Amino acid sequence: MLELKNLNVYYGAIHALKSINLKINDGEIVTLIGANGAGKSTTLKTISGMLKPKSGEILLEGKNINQLSAPDIVKLGMAHVPEGRRVFAKMSVMENLEMGAYTRNDKGSIKEDIKKMFNLFPRLEERKEQMAGTLSGGEQQMLAIARGLMSRPKLILLDEPSMGLAPIIVNEIFEIIKDINKLGTTVLLVEQNANMALKLADRAYIIRTGEIELEGNARDLLKDENVRRAYLEG
């Protein structure tokens, strides 16, 4: 589905991503774990075309997308659910979902997809005319994910969906991520909540100061001594 090859990204003089290699197969849930400032969001923004790499390759289904704009990448079937949810606060839930379908022109099936989102997130349906800014944090995260799904992505990038949410809501959101994946969407999940992410994912990458430190089967990493010490017990 997606492959990053020797990806280098800079913010001015700051070398934020150092030769990142990463691969996501069709249908997988892959998680990218790391501490604050490790470069997780930078990785996602580079994949979705918001940042341009200095060198290296981003291949989406074998096609190099380095030079494509963010809107073009959305059209190719990738959705990015940004860190901090970033719902359109002064637009209704409904309008937020419509914005998610911005690159599509098939009005009829957009309506059907909105219905599907309401099945997946019944809480959103009850609030469909409410301004997104007045939703609770958990509801906003659900809306952000639903909005991302409205573009009918093959691959969805989720940037810290658990951020700032109560454990019970986080559980709910992770269950939904599992469902989304079962329905056929490949997932790249960025998390600081390593424990939960490793339990959910098939494979994992651990990023530290812009470099991939470790990669492997999620269940193996969950048992790994070093990983436990660095990311799970403290």
Partner 1 sequence: MEQIIQQLINGVSLGSIYALIALGYTMVYGIINLINFAHGDIYMMGAFVGYALTTFLGLGFIPSLIASMVACSILGMVVEKIAYKPLRNSSRISLLITAISVSLFLQYIMVYFIGPETRTFPNVLESNRITFFDGSVILDTKNIYILVITIILMIALQYVVHRTKIGKAMRAVALDKEAAEFMGVNVNKVISYTFAIGSALAGAAGVLVGIYYNTVDPLMGSGPGLKAFVAAVLGGIGLIPGAVFGGFFLGLVETIVSAYGGSVYKDAVAFAILILILLVKPAGLLGKNIKEKV
Ligand X SMILES: Nc1ncnc2c1ncn2[C@@H]1O[C@H](COP(=O)(O)OP(=O)(O)OP(=O)(O)O)[C@@H](O)[C@H]1O
Using CB under 6 A, list all residues that contact ligand X. 11, 14, 16, 34, 36-42, 83, 192
* Residue 186 near residue 178, CB atoms below 8 Å: no
Task: Kindly give the pairing relationship between strand 55-60 and strand 63-64.
Answer: antiparallel
Q: Which of 40, 80, 127, 203 binds partner 1 (CB under 8 A)?
A: 80
# binding residues, partner 1 (CB under 8 A): 33
Partner whose footprint covers residue 75, from Mg ion, partner 1, ligand X, none (CB < 5 to 8 Å by kind)? partner 1
* Residue 203 near residue 218, CB atoms below 8 Å: yes
CA distance 34 to 70: 25
Partner whose footprint covers residue 181, from ligand X, partner 1, Mg ion, none (CB < 5 to 8 Å by kind)? none
Interface pattern 40-69 for Mg ion (x via CB under 5 A) = xx----------------------------
70 binds partner 1 (CB under 8 A): yes
Nearest Cα residue to 2 out of 204, 156, 192: 156
Partner whose footprint covers residue 39, from ligand X, Mg ion, partner 1, none (CB < 5 to 8 Å by kind)? ligand X
Task: Kindly give the pairing relationship between strand 29-33 and strand 203-208.
Answer: parallel
Q: Which of 90, 178, 182, 229 binds partner 1 (CB under 8 A)?
A: 90
Identify the DSSP state of 202.
Answer: S
Task: Kindly give the pairing relationship between strand 2-11 and strand 55-60.
Answer: antiparallel
* Residue 123 near residue 171, CB atoms below 8 Å: no
Please report, as ranges, the residues that interact with partner 1 according to CB under 8 A. Answer: 48, 50, 69-71, 74-75, 79-82, 84, 86-91, 95, 98-100, 102-103, 133-137, 140, 147, 151, 164
